[in-house]
Amino acid sequence: MSIGIGDSHDAQALGWTDHEEACWNTVSDNCIPARITSRYVSSWRVMVPDGFRETAVKAAGAFHYLCAGPDDYPVVGDWVALSPDGGMIQRRIPRRTTITRQESGRAARAQILAANVDTVFLVFGLDGGRNFSIGLLERFLTVVAAGGVEPVVVLNKADCTSTEHIESVKSQVRSVRADIVIRITSVPDGRGLEELRNLIPVGTTTCCLGRSGVGKSSITNSLLRKQHIRTAEVSRIRHRGRHTTTNSQLLMLPGGGLLIDTPGLRELQLWGEEDSLHESFSDILELAAECRFRDCRHQGEPGCAVQQALAEGILPHQRLEHYLEQRDELAEAELRHRMSAAAYEKQRWKKISRR
Ligand SMILES: Nc1nc2c(ncn2[C@@H]2O[C@H](COP(=O)(O)OP(=O)(O)O)[C@@H](O)[C@H]2O)c(=O)[nH]1
Ligand SMILES: [Mg+2]
Ligand SMILES: [Zn+2]
Protein backbone atom coordinates (compact mmCIF):
# COMPACT_ATOMS: atom_id res chain seq x y z
CA MET A 1 0.00 0.00 0.00
CA SER A 2 1.27 3.42 -0.87
CA ILE A 3 1.62 6.13 1.74
CA GLY A 4 -1.00 8.87 1.38
CA ILE A 5 0.01 12.49 0.87
CA GLY A 6 -1.99 13.31 3.97
CA ASP A 7 0.59 11.41 6.03
CA SER A 8 3.08 14.14 5.27
CA HIS A 9 3.17 16.85 7.94
CA ASP A 10 4.19 19.40 5.34
CA ALA A 11 1.09 18.69 3.24
CA GLN A 12 -1.13 19.02 6.31
CA ALA A 13 0.59 22.27 7.26
CA LEU A 14 -0.21 23.60 3.80
CA GLY A 15 -3.89 22.79 4.31
CA TRP A 16 -4.21 19.31 2.84
CA THR A 17 -7.25 17.57 4.36
CA ASP A 18 -9.12 14.27 4.05
CA HIS A 19 -11.09 15.88 1.24
CA GLU A 20 -8.00 16.36 -0.95
CA GLU A 21 -6.71 12.94 0.04
CA ALA A 22 -9.97 11.36 -1.14
CA CYS A 23 -9.84 13.26 -4.45
CA TRP A 24 -6.20 12.55 -5.13
CA ASN A 25 -6.66 8.93 -6.25
CA THR A 26 -8.18 10.17 -9.53
CA VAL A 27 -4.90 11.95 -10.37
CA SER A 28 -2.27 10.08 -12.32
CA ASP A 29 0.77 8.66 -10.55
CA ASN A 30 3.86 10.77 -9.97
CA CYS A 31 1.95 14.06 -10.03
CA ILE A 32 3.01 16.55 -7.38
CA PRO A 33 0.40 18.25 -5.17
CA ALA A 34 0.75 22.02 -4.85
CA ARG A 35 -1.31 24.90 -3.52
CA ILE A 36 -1.96 28.11 -5.45
CA THR A 37 -0.51 31.16 -3.66
CA SER A 38 -1.34 33.75 -6.32
CA ARG A 39 -2.82 34.01 -9.75
CA TYR A 40 -1.77 36.05 -12.77
CA VAL A 41 -3.28 36.37 -16.24
CA SER A 42 -2.06 33.04 -17.56
CA SER A 43 0.26 31.74 -14.87
CA TRP A 44 0.12 30.89 -11.19
CA ARG A 45 2.46 30.76 -8.25
CA VAL A 46 2.26 27.60 -6.20
CA MET A 47 3.75 26.24 -3.00
CA VAL A 48 4.68 22.58 -2.79
CA PRO A 49 4.51 20.80 0.56
CA ASP A 50 8.05 19.51 0.18
CA GLY A 51 10.04 22.31 1.82
CA PHE A 52 7.30 24.89 1.10
CA ARG A 53 9.11 26.02 -2.03
CA GLU A 54 7.27 28.53 -4.22
CA THR A 55 7.47 28.39 -8.00
CA ALA A 56 5.71 29.79 -11.05
CA VAL A 57 3.69 27.36 -13.17
CA LYS A 58 1.55 27.37 -16.30
CA ALA A 59 -1.43 25.27 -17.27
CA ALA A 60 -0.78 22.18 -19.40
CA GLY A 61 -2.59 22.04 -22.74
CA ALA A 62 -4.63 19.10 -21.53
CA PHE A 63 -5.74 21.13 -18.51
CA HIS A 64 -7.12 23.94 -20.69
CA TYR A 65 -9.13 21.27 -22.43
CA LEU A 66 -10.67 20.20 -19.11
CA CYS A 67 -11.76 23.77 -18.29
CA ALA A 68 -15.22 24.71 -19.55
CA GLY A 69 -15.29 28.20 -18.03
CA PRO A 70 -13.32 30.71 -15.96
CA ASP A 71 -14.34 29.10 -12.65
CA ASP A 72 -12.57 25.92 -13.62
CA TYR A 73 -9.18 27.61 -13.57
CA PRO A 74 -7.32 27.59 -10.26
CA VAL A 75 -7.72 30.47 -7.80
CA VAL A 76 -5.77 31.30 -4.66
CA GLY A 77 -6.11 28.46 -2.17
CA ASP A 78 -6.83 25.77 -4.76
CA TRP A 79 -4.95 22.48 -4.69
CA VAL A 80 -3.60 21.35 -8.05
CA ALA A 81 -1.73 18.36 -9.43
CA LEU A 82 1.52 19.35 -11.13
CA SER A 83 3.27 17.35 -13.82
CA PRO A 84 6.04 15.13 -12.40
CA ASP A 85 8.65 17.77 -13.37
CA GLY A 86 6.68 20.34 -11.34
CA GLY A 87 6.24 22.83 -14.17
CA MET A 88 2.67 22.42 -15.40
CA ILE A 89 -0.78 22.27 -13.83
CA GLN A 90 -2.47 19.08 -14.94
CA ARG A 91 -5.54 18.98 -12.73
CA ARG A 92 -7.39 21.04 -10.17
CA ILE A 93 -8.62 19.20 -7.08
CA PRO A 94 -12.34 19.86 -6.37
CA ARG A 95 -12.86 22.71 -3.89
CA ARG A 96 -13.84 22.09 -0.28
CA THR A 97 -15.12 25.67 0.21
CA THR A 98 -15.21 28.84 -1.88
CA ILE A 99 -15.57 32.58 -1.43
CA THR A 100 -17.45 33.94 -4.41
CA ARG A 101 -18.60 37.36 -5.43
CA GLN A 102 -20.20 38.71 -8.52
CA GLU A 103 -17.66 40.23 -10.84
CA SER A 104 -17.56 43.99 -10.79
CA GLY A 105 -18.60 45.70 -13.97
CA ARG A 106 -21.46 44.52 -16.08
CA ALA A 107 -20.48 40.93 -16.69
CA ALA A 108 -23.07 38.71 -15.09
CA ARG A 109 -20.55 36.24 -13.83
CA ALA A 110 -19.55 35.00 -10.45
CA GLN A 111 -15.93 35.34 -9.52
CA ILE A 112 -14.37 32.88 -7.13
CA LEU A 113 -12.02 34.90 -4.93
CA ALA A 114 -10.46 32.07 -2.96
CA ALA A 115 -10.85 28.35 -2.36
CA ASN A 116 -10.46 25.94 0.53
CA VAL A 117 -10.81 28.62 3.18
CA ASP A 118 -11.83 27.70 6.74
CA THR A 119 -12.27 31.12 8.33
CA VAL A 120 -12.85 34.61 7.00
CA PHE A 121 -11.79 37.75 8.80
CA LEU A 122 -14.34 40.40 7.91
CA VAL A 123 -12.19 43.44 8.56
CA PHE A 124 -13.68 46.86 9.32
CA GLY A 125 -12.01 50.10 10.35
CA LEU A 126 -13.03 51.92 13.52
CA ASP A 127 -11.74 55.20 12.12
CA GLY A 128 -15.18 56.44 11.10
CA GLY A 129 -16.44 57.23 7.64
CA ARG A 130 -17.69 54.31 5.59
CA ASN A 131 -15.26 51.85 7.18
CA PHE A 132 -18.03 50.21 9.15
CA SER A 133 -21.63 49.76 8.11
CA ILE A 134 -24.27 47.23 9.02
CA GLY A 135 -25.24 46.95 5.36
CA LEU A 136 -21.73 45.90 4.37
CA LEU A 137 -21.52 43.42 7.25
CA GLU A 138 -24.79 41.86 6.13
CA ARG A 139 -23.45 41.55 2.59
CA PHE A 140 -20.22 39.96 3.75
CA LEU A 141 -22.10 37.48 5.92
CA THR A 142 -24.27 36.48 2.99
CA VAL A 143 -21.24 35.84 0.79
CA VAL A 144 -19.48 33.89 3.51
CA ALA A 145 -22.55 31.78 4.30
CA ALA A 146 -22.89 30.84 0.64
CA GLY A 147 -19.36 29.39 0.69
CA GLY A 148 -19.54 27.37 3.90
CA VAL A 149 -16.87 29.42 5.67
CA GLU A 150 -16.74 30.58 9.32
CA PRO A 151 -16.80 34.37 9.79
CA VAL A 152 -14.94 36.41 12.41
CA VAL A 153 -15.55 40.15 12.61
CA VAL A 154 -12.32 42.11 13.04
CA LEU A 155 -12.75 45.72 14.14
CA ASN A 156 -9.37 47.27 13.38
CA LYS A 157 -7.88 50.73 14.10
CA ALA A 158 -9.10 50.61 17.71
CA ASP A 159 -6.43 53.25 18.45
CA CYS A 160 -8.47 55.75 16.41
CA THR A 161 -11.54 55.79 18.61
CA SER A 162 -13.04 55.70 22.10
CA THR A 163 -14.07 52.69 24.17
CA GLU A 164 -17.69 53.90 23.97
CA HIS A 165 -17.60 53.90 20.18
CA ILE A 166 -16.06 50.42 20.10
CA GLU A 167 -18.85 49.13 22.35
CA SER A 168 -21.49 50.73 20.17
CA VAL A 169 -20.06 49.15 17.00
CA LYS A 170 -19.85 45.80 18.79
CA SER A 171 -23.52 45.94 19.70
CA GLN A 172 -24.40 46.88 16.11
CA VAL A 173 -22.52 43.77 14.95
CA ARG A 174 -24.35 41.65 17.53
CA SER A 175 -27.67 43.04 16.35
CA VAL A 176 -26.99 41.36 13.01
CA ARG A 177 -25.78 38.09 14.50
CA ALA A 178 -25.75 37.64 18.24
CA ASP A 179 -23.23 34.79 18.37
CA ILE A 180 -20.62 36.05 15.96
CA VAL A 181 -16.98 36.13 17.08
CA ILE A 182 -15.67 39.71 17.31
CA ARG A 183 -12.03 40.74 17.72
CA ILE A 184 -10.81 44.28 18.39
CA THR A 185 -7.40 45.07 16.92
CA SER A 186 -4.93 47.88 16.42
CA VAL A 187 -1.81 47.44 14.33
CA PRO A 188 0.40 50.26 15.76
CA ASP A 189 0.10 49.04 19.36
CA GLY A 190 -0.40 45.34 18.59
CA ARG A 191 -3.72 45.13 20.39
CA GLY A 192 -5.64 41.90 19.69
CA LEU A 193 -3.15 40.60 17.12
CA GLU A 194 -2.03 37.63 19.21
CA GLU A 195 -5.69 36.65 19.59
CA LEU A 196 -6.14 36.84 15.82
CA ARG A 197 -3.05 34.72 15.35
CA ASN A 198 -4.57 32.07 17.61
CA LEU A 199 -7.58 31.83 15.32
CA ILE A 200 -5.33 30.47 12.54
CA PRO A 201 -4.03 27.08 13.75
CA VAL A 202 -1.51 25.09 11.71
CA GLY A 203 -3.06 23.66 8.55
CA THR A 204 -6.05 26.02 8.47
CA THR A 205 -6.64 28.81 5.98
CA THR A 206 -8.03 32.25 6.79
CA CYS A 207 -8.97 34.88 4.24
CA CYS A 208 -9.12 38.62 4.98
CA LEU A 209 -12.04 40.42 3.36
CA GLY A 210 -12.87 44.08 3.69
CA ARG A 211 -12.97 47.44 2.02
CA SER A 212 -9.75 48.96 0.83
CA GLY A 213 -7.90 50.87 3.55
CA VAL A 214 -9.28 49.09 6.63
CA GLY A 215 -5.89 47.49 7.36
CA LYS A 216 -5.97 43.98 5.88
CA SER A 217 -2.40 44.15 4.57
CA SER A 218 -1.15 45.81 7.76
CA ILE A 219 -2.66 43.00 9.85
CA THR A 220 -1.19 40.40 7.48
CA ASN A 221 2.26 41.98 7.72
CA SER A 222 2.08 42.06 11.52
CA LEU A 223 1.11 38.40 11.67
CA LEU A 224 3.94 37.59 9.26
CA ARG A 225 6.23 39.67 11.46
CA LYS A 226 7.63 41.27 8.35
CA GLN A 227 6.73 43.66 5.60
CA HIS A 228 5.65 41.29 2.89
CA ILE A 229 2.81 43.15 1.30
CA ARG A 230 2.84 46.83 0.55
CA THR A 231 0.35 48.78 2.61
CA ALA A 232 -1.24 52.06 1.59
CA GLU A 233 1.22 54.11 3.65
CA VAL A 234 4.34 52.74 2.02
CA SER A 235 2.92 53.00 -1.44
CA ARG A 236 1.86 56.60 -0.92
CA ILE A 237 5.47 57.46 -0.18
CA ARG A 238 6.37 55.88 -3.47
CA HIS A 239 3.54 57.77 -5.15
CA ARG A 240 1.92 54.61 -6.32
CA GLY A 241 -1.64 55.48 -5.41
CA ARG A 242 -3.86 53.91 -2.80
CA HIS A 243 -4.90 50.58 -4.21
CA THR A 244 -1.89 48.59 -3.27
CA THR A 245 -2.95 44.98 -3.14
CA THR A 246 -3.98 44.13 -6.67
CA ASN A 247 -3.83 40.41 -6.33
CA SER A 248 -4.83 37.95 -3.64
CA GLN A 249 -1.93 36.21 -1.96
CA LEU A 250 -1.72 33.12 0.21
CA LEU A 251 1.00 33.32 2.84
CA MET A 252 2.29 30.92 5.46
CA LEU A 253 2.59 32.45 8.91
CA PRO A 254 5.63 31.76 11.10
CA GLY A 255 4.80 28.64 13.08
CA GLY A 256 2.14 27.55 10.57
CA GLY A 257 -1.34 28.65 9.57
CA LEU A 258 -2.22 30.17 6.21
CA LEU A 259 -3.52 33.64 5.53
CA ILE A 260 -4.92 35.08 2.30
CA ASP A 261 -4.75 38.85 1.83
CA THR A 262 -7.19 40.17 -0.77
CA PRO A 263 -7.45 43.50 -2.53
CA GLY A 264 -10.16 45.84 -1.26
CA LEU A 265 -13.58 44.86 -2.41
CA ARG A 266 -15.04 48.17 -3.34
CA GLU A 267 -18.32 46.81 -4.51
CA LEU A 268 -19.03 43.47 -3.04
CA GLN A 269 -21.93 42.30 -5.10
CA LEU A 270 -23.80 39.33 -3.95
CA TRP A 271 -23.72 35.93 -5.39
CA GLY A 272 -25.21 32.85 -3.88
CA GLU A 273 -28.37 31.01 -3.14
CA GLU A 274 -31.22 32.89 -1.57
CA ASP A 275 -30.68 30.44 1.26
CA SER A 276 -27.49 32.17 2.19
CA LEU A 277 -29.62 35.06 3.47
CA HIS A 278 -30.51 32.80 6.39
CA GLU A 279 -27.20 33.48 8.03
CA SER A 280 -27.59 37.26 8.21
CA PHE A 281 -31.38 37.54 8.40
CA SER A 282 -32.44 34.61 10.57
CA ASP A 283 -34.83 36.88 12.55
CA ILE A 284 -36.76 37.83 9.42
CA LEU A 285 -36.88 34.27 8.17
CA GLU A 286 -38.20 33.12 11.56
CA LEU A 287 -40.97 35.68 11.30
CA ALA A 288 -41.62 34.67 7.68
CA ALA A 289 -42.39 31.15 8.85
CA GLU A 290 -45.47 32.65 10.56
CA CYS A 291 -46.79 34.37 7.41
CA ARG A 292 -50.14 33.11 6.11
CA PHE A 293 -48.79 32.35 2.66
CA ARG A 294 -45.80 30.12 2.29
CA ASP A 295 -44.48 32.15 -0.64
CA CYS A 296 -45.20 35.53 1.04
CA ARG A 297 -42.94 38.29 -0.30
CA HIS A 298 -43.62 40.47 2.80
CA GLN A 299 -44.65 43.37 0.64
CA GLY A 300 -48.27 43.86 1.64
CA GLU A 301 -49.80 40.38 1.50
CA PRO A 302 -52.54 39.70 4.09
CA GLY A 303 -51.49 37.84 7.24
CA CYS A 304 -47.83 38.82 6.83
CA ALA A 305 -45.99 38.30 10.12
CA VAL A 306 -43.01 40.33 8.92
CA GLN A 307 -45.16 43.41 8.22
CA GLN A 308 -46.85 42.92 11.58
CA ALA A 309 -43.51 42.85 13.42
CA LEU A 310 -42.63 46.02 11.55
CA ALA A 311 -45.86 47.71 12.65
CA GLU A 312 -45.27 46.63 16.24
CA GLY A 313 -41.77 48.05 16.15
CA ILE A 314 -40.16 44.66 16.81
CA LEU A 315 -38.41 44.68 13.46
CA PRO A 316 -36.48 47.81 12.47
CA HIS A 317 -37.59 49.27 9.17
CA GLN A 318 -34.06 49.51 7.81
CA ARG A 319 -33.42 45.87 8.46
CA LEU A 320 -36.36 44.74 6.35
CA GLU A 321 -35.26 47.14 3.63
CA HIS A 322 -31.77 45.60 3.61
CA TYR A 323 -33.27 42.15 3.45
CA LEU A 324 -35.57 42.93 0.55
CA GLU A 325 -32.76 44.69 -1.28
CA GLN A 326 -30.41 41.74 -0.95
CA ARG A 327 -33.12 39.24 -1.80
CA ASP A 328 -33.88 41.10 -5.03
CA GLU A 329 -30.20 41.49 -5.83
CA LEU A 330 -29.67 37.75 -5.47
CA ALA A 331 -32.70 36.96 -7.59
CA GLU A 332 -31.53 39.33 -10.30
CA ALA A 333 -27.98 37.99 -10.29
CA GLU A 334 -29.38 34.49 -10.57
CA LEU A 335 -31.53 35.52 -13.53
CA ARG A 336 -28.67 37.26 -15.31
CA HIS A 337 -26.48 34.25 -14.69
CA ARG A 338 -29.07 31.98 -16.30
CA MET A 339 -29.48 34.36 -19.20
CA SER A 340 -25.77 34.57 -19.84
CA ALA A 341 -25.49 30.79 -19.61
CA ALA A 342 -28.20 30.55 -22.27
CA ALA A 343 -26.40 33.11 -24.45
CA TYR A 344 -23.20 31.14 -24.04
CA GLU A 345 -24.91 27.94 -25.09
CA LYS A 346 -26.34 29.69 -28.16
CA GLN A 347 -22.95 30.98 -29.21
CA ARG A 348 -21.35 27.62 -28.68
CA TRP A 349 -24.04 26.00 -30.79
CA LYS A 350 -23.40 28.52 -33.59
CA LYS A 351 -19.71 27.63 -33.52
CA ILE A 352 -20.41 23.92 -33.65
CA SER A 353 -22.95 24.16 -36.48
CA ARG A 354 -20.56 26.31 -38.53
CA ARG A 355 -18.02 23.50 -38.66
N1 LIG B 1 -4.19 54.08 13.17
C2 LIG B 1 -4.20 52.91 12.54
N3 LIG B 1 -3.89 52.85 11.23
C4 LIG B 1 -3.90 51.63 10.62
C5 LIG B 1 -4.21 50.44 11.33
N6 LIG B 1 -4.14 49.41 10.45
C7 LIG B 1 -3.79 49.92 9.26
N8 LIG B 1 -3.65 51.26 9.36
C9 LIG B 1 -3.32 52.20 8.27
O10 LIG B 1 -4.41 52.22 7.34
C11 LIG B 1 -3.93 52.37 6.00
C12 LIG B 1 -4.44 51.23 5.11
O13 LIG B 1 -3.86 50.03 5.53
P14 LIG B 1 -3.73 48.75 4.56
O15 LIG B 1 -3.15 47.67 5.41
O16 LIG B 1 -3.01 49.09 3.31
O17 LIG B 1 -5.27 48.46 4.25
P18 LIG B 1 -5.90 47.40 3.23
O19 LIG B 1 -6.27 48.16 2.01
O20 LIG B 1 -7.11 46.87 3.94
O21 LIG B 1 -4.87 46.33 2.97
C22 LIG B 1 -2.40 52.43 6.12
O23 LIG B 1 -2.03 53.78 6.13
C24 LIG B 1 -2.12 51.77 7.45
O25 LIG B 1 -0.91 52.23 8.04
C26 LIG B 1 -4.52 50.55 12.73
O27 LIG B 1 -4.83 49.59 13.43
N28 LIG B 1 -4.50 51.81 13.28
MG1 LIG C 1 -4.13 45.66 1.13
ZN1 LIG D 1 -44.84 37.90 4.93
Q: What does residue 29 show for φ and ψ, rounded to 5 degrees?
A: -55, 155
**How far is 157 from 127, CA to CA, in rounded Å?**
6
Instruction: Give the environment of ion ligand 2: residues with CB less than 5 A.
Output: 216-217, 245
CATH number at residue 285: 1.10.40.50
Cα(2) to centroid of ligand 2, in Å? 43
The reply to whether ligand 1 has any atom less than 6 angstroms from the CB of 160 is yes
CA-proximal residue: ligand 1, atom 26 (nearest): 157
Half-sphere exposure of 342 (CA within 13 A, CB side): 6
267 falls within a domain? no
The domain boundary, picked from 62, 92, 122, lies at 92
**Measuring from atom 8 of ligand 1, which residue has the nearest CA?**
215
156 lies in the same domain as 198: yes
pLDDT tens digits for 254-278?
Answer: 989 999 998 765 445 454 445 566 6
Residue 120 Cα to chain centre, angstroms: 7
> 111 and 239 in one domain?
yes
Task: Please report the pLDDT score of residue 181 as a whole number.
Answer: 96
CB of residue 218 inside a 6 A radius of ligand 1: yes
Q: Are residues 150 and 224 in the same domain?
A: yes
Task: Calculate how far, in angstroms, residue 144's C-alpha sits from the geometric centre of ligand 3.
Answer: 26
Is 254 in the same domain as 147? Answer: yes
Residues 146 and 245 in one domain: yes
Q: Which domain holds residue 122?
A: 98-261
Give the CA distances from residue 190 to residues 15, 45, 58, 83, 153, in Å, rounded to whole numbers and listed in that order: 27, 31, 39, 43, 17
Residues 139 and 255 in one domain: yes
Residue 108 has pLDDT above 70, yes or no: no
**59, containing H or E segment:** strand 53-59
Q: Which ligand is nearest to the CA of 266?
A: 1
Query: What is the CATH number for 121?
Result: 3.40.50.300
Both 83 and 114 in one domain: the answer is no
Nearest to 219 by CA among 173, 184, 169, 168: 184
Residues 343 and 283 in one domain: yes
Q: Which residues pair with 186 in a beta bridge?
A: 191
248 lines ligand 1 (CB under 6 A): no
User: Do 329 and 192 sit in the same domain of this protein?
Assistant: no
Residue 235 has pLDDT above 70, yes or no: no
268 in a structural domain? no
Which residue, 355, 350, 333, is CA-closest to 143?
Answer: 333
**CA 151/CA 145 separation, integer angstroms:** 8
- What angle, rounded to 10 degrees, do the helices at 134-147 and 317-354 form? 50
Give the phi and the psi of residue 168 in degrees, each rounded to 5: -70, -40
Nearest protein Cα to ligand 1, atom 9? 215
**Ligand 1 atom closest to 220 (CA):** 15
Do the Cβ atoms of 215 and 121 come closer than 8 Å?
no
- Ligand 1 within 6 A of CB of 125: no
Residue count of the chain:
355
Q: Which ligand lies nearest to the CA atom of residue 219 in the structure?
A: 1
Model pLDDT, residue 49: 93
Q: Does residue 185 share a domain with residue 109?
A: yes
Q: What's the CA-to-centroid distance between 52 and ligand 1, angstroms?
A: 29
CB 214 less than 6 A from any atom of ligand 1: yes
305 alpha carbon – ligand 3 mean position (Å): 5
Per-residue pLDDT, averaged over 172-184, amounts to 95
Model confidence at 201: pLDDT above 90: yes
187 sits in which H/E element: none
pLDDT tens digits, one per residue of 118-142 = 999 999 999 987 789 888 898 888 8
Q: Are residues 212 and 159 in the same domain?
A: yes
Confidence of residue 9 (pLDDT cuts 50, 70, 90): confident
Is 243 within a domain?
yes
The span from the CA of 284 to the CA of 295, in Å, is 14
Do 195 and 163 lie in a common domain? yes
Residue range 274-295, pLDDT digits in tens: 556 666 788 888 888 888 887 7
pLDDT given for residue 231 in this prediction: 59
Probe target for ligand 1 pocket from 218, 219, 224, 238, with the most ligand atoms within 8 Å of CB: 218
Which domain CATH number covers 33? 2.40.50.140
Does ligand 1 lie within 6 Å of residue 216's CB atom? yes
Nearest CA to ligand 1 atom 6: 215
Residue that finishes a domain, picked among 261, 289, 322: 261
Domains contained in the chain, number: 3
pLDDT surpassing 60 at residue 99: yes
Domain end point (choices 229, 261, 293): 261
Closest residue to atom 1 of ligand 1, CA basis: 157
Q: What is the pLDDT of residues 297-351, one digit of tens each?
A: 888 888 999 999 999 888 888 888 888 887 877 776 666 666 666 665 566 566 5
